[in-house]
Amino acid sequence: MQDTSLNVAKPENVAVLATTADQFAINTPGAWNLGTGPDRNLRRYTYTDRPVHRPFDIVHFKSIVRSESMSGYEIPQDLELKLELRDP
């Protein structure tokens, strides 16, 4: 296992990739509250239709965004969100 530090302006936008031989795993630690900006109280989760996808599979996903407040979770109002998909 190797430790590393994050020296980026928005660490909540980091993707972690681990590889060994011909295997890989990727995770986005955005839900770990690494950020300090005004959107720190946002909780973002993305789900796919299956846990494993093979090359050329069609991936169906759903993202949920909620604001955490003292009374619980709420749907964010007057907030523009951006979703970016990247082809590996």
Closest CA to 85 of 65, 66, 59, 64: 59
pTM of the model: 0.47
The percentage of residues in the chain with a pLDDT greater than 70, rounded to a whole number, is: 67
12 pLDDT above the threshold of 80: no
50 pLDDT above the threshold of 80: yes
Alpha-carbon span 25 to 85, nearest angstrom: 17
Half-sphere exposure of 20 (CA within 13 A, CB side): 2
14 pLDDT above the threshold of 80: no
User: Among all chains, which residue has been given the structure tokens 């494993």?
Assistant: 52
Which tokens go with 9?
């302006």
The pLDDT of 19-38, averaged and rounded, is 68
Q: Which of 18-32, 44-58, 74-88 has the highest mean pLDDT?
A: 44-58
